[in-house]
C-alpha cells in the first residue's frame, strides 16, 4: 500500500524510526553531551502499549518499515514483548544498537525474522573505544558482531568519522569487508544539541573515497536502493561493501521517506527538526492521531529542516541531542 504520509514535495513516508528510550549503557562523546542530559521523566515516556498503538496508526497510513533505536533500544525493559508485537503488524523490523546486549536477543531475532541490524562501532581499537564511549564493552561488542555474522544476520557497522579520532581507521574497517559479508557505513559527523559540532573535525565523502582508492585502487560504485541514505561502494574482490552517509557534504534528502517518533511520543519529520508534533498527548486523550500525522508532514522542509545550504548552529542547537533522537 502506498503511504498516505506525503509531504508537499510529493515524498511518501513509509519508514518510521522509533526511539524507545533516551537511556544508554554507553556515553559516546558525539552523541551524549559532556554535561549529560536531563533524562525524560517516566510518565512522559511512551509505554510499550502506546508504542504499539501509535505504530498501528502509522502502519495503517502506509508505514511498512520500523527501525528501533534509542539511546540504546535493548536497555528498554520488556523489549522482547515489544519486538514480538511490532512484528505482528507485518512490517519489516530493523534495529540500531551499540551491540553490547545482542547476545541476549539473537534467538528472538531469528524467531521473529529481524535480520537487519545496524551496530554503532567507531573504532577497531579497544583503548580508543573506551575513550570514545567512556565504557569498556569492546570485547563483548566484537564477539557479538562475529556471532551475528556467523548466524547470517545482515549487519551494518555505523562508523561516525571524526578527524584525529578514528579517521586513520577507514581502511581497517574496509579490510573487515574482505572475507566477511558485512557492510560498513561511514557517517559524516553531524551537529546535534550539545555535541560541540565543528565541521573541521568532519571527514567528507570525498576524503573517505580518496583514502580508500589510495589503498585499494579502483572501487566499484553500487546502485543505491530507493530511499538510500548512503552512497554505496565495493572493493572488487571483497565479500562485503561500504557506504557513506554524506549528510553534510552531499545530502540525500530528495528521496527521504523517514519520519521519527521520539521516546516521549513526539513526531519529528526530519532528523534535524527543530519543531516536533506531540502524538502521545492526543493519543492519551483518546483523540485520533492520523490527521495530526498527515498535517505534521506538510510542515516538512525539503532538506535538513531548512538548513539547505549550510548547517546553522542557531537552528540545530534548538534540536535535541542525538541520544534522544536515535539517529
Residues in touch with ligand SF4 (CB under 6 A):
247, 251-253, 256, 258, 270-272, 303-304
Residue 272 CB, nearest approach to ligand SF4 (Å): 6
CB 276 within 8 A of CB 57: no
Residue 127 C-beta-side C-alpha neighbours within 13 Å: 0
DSSP-derived secondary structure for 172-199: HHHHHTSSS--EEEEEE----TTS---G
Taking the least distance from each CB to ligand SF4, the nearer of 146 and 250 is 250
Residue 313 CB, nearest approach to ligand SF4 (Å): 16
Residue 2 CB, nearest approach to ligand SF4 (Å): 19
Residue 269 CB, nearest approach to ligand SF4 (Å): 8
Taking the least distance from each CB to ligand SF4, the nearer of 3 and 144 is 3
CB 278 within 8 A of CB 266: yes
Taking the least distance from each CB to ligand SF4, the nearer of 248 and 279 is 248
Taking the least distance from each CB to ligand SF4, the nearer of 251 and 281 is 251
Q: What is the largest CA-CA distance in the chain?
A: 60
Taking the least distance from each CB to ligand SF4, the nearer of 180 and 249 is 249
Query: Residue 186's closest CA among 164, 201, 171?
Result: 171
Question: From edge to edge, which strands make up the β-sheet containing 154-161?
Answer: 219-221, 231-235, 241-245, 183-188, 154-161, 116-120, 92-97, 65-69, 15-19, 258-261, 266-268, 277-278
Residue 80 CB, nearest approach to ligand SF4 (Å): 29
Residue 133 CB, nearest approach to ligand SF4 (Å): 25
Taking the least distance from each CB to ligand SF4, the nearer of 19 and 303 is 303
Cβ neighbour number for residue 42 with a 10 Å cutoff: 7
DSSP-derived secondary structure for 30-86: TTS-TT---PPPGGGSPPHHHHHHHHHHHHHTT--EEEEESS-GGGSTTHHHHHHHH
Amino acid at each position: 500500500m502506498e503511504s498516505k504520509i506525503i509531504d508537499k514535495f510529493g515524498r511518501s513516508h513509509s519508514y518510521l524510526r522509533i526511539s524507545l528510550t533516551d537511556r544508554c549503557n554507553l556515553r559516546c562523546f558525539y552523541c551524549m553531551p559532556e554535561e549529560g542530559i536531563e533524562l525524560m521523566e517516566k510518565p512522559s515516556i511512551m509505554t510499550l502499549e502506546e508504542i504499539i498503538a501509535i505504530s498501528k496508526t502509522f502502519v495503517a497510513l502506509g508505514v511498512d518499515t520500523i527501525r528501533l533505536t534509542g539511546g540504546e533500544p535493548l536497555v528498554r525493559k520488556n523489549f522482547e514483548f515489544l519486538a514480538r508485537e511490532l512484528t505482528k503488524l507485518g512490517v519489516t523490523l530493523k534495529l540500531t544498537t551499540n551491540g553490547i546486549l545482542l547476545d541476549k536477543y539473537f534467538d528472538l531475532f531469528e524467531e521473529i525474522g529481524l535480520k537487519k541490524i545496524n551496530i554503532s562501532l567507531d573504532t577497531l581499537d579497544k583503548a580508543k573505544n573506551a575513550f570514545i564511549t567512556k565504557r569498556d564493552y569492546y570485547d563483548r561488542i566484537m564477539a557479538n558482531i562475529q556471532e551475528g555474522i556467523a548466524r547470517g544476520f545482515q549487519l551494518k557497522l555505523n562508523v561516525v568519522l571524526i578527524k584525529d579520532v578514528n579517521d586513520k581507521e577507514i581502511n581497517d574497517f574496509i579490510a573487515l569487508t574482505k572475507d566477511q559479508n558485512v557492510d560498513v557505513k561511514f557517517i559524516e559527523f553531524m551537529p546535534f544539541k550539545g555535541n560541540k559540532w565543528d565541521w573541521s573535525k568532519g571527514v567528507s565523502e570525498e576524503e573517505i573515497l580518496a583514502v580508500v582508492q589510495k589503498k585499494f585502487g579502483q572501487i566499484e560504485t553500487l546502485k543505491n536502493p530507493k530511499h538510500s541514505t548512503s552512497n554505496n561502494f565495493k572493493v572488487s574482490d571483497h565479500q562485503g561493501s561500504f557506504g557513506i552517509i554524506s549528510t553534510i557534504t552531499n545530502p540525500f534528502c530528495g528521496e527521504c521517506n523517514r519520519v521519527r517518533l521520539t521516546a516521549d511520543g513526539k513526531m519529528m519529520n526530519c532528523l534535524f527538526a527543530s519543531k516536533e508534533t506531540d502524538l502521545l498527548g492526543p493519543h492519551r486523550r483518546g483523540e485520533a492521531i492520523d490527521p495530526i500525522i498527515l498535517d505534521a508532514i506538510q510542515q516538512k522542509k525539503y532538506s535538513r529542516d531548512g538548513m539547505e545550504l549550510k548547517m546553522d548552529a542557531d537552528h540545530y542547537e534548538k534540536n535535541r541531542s542525538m541520544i534522544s533522537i536515535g539517529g
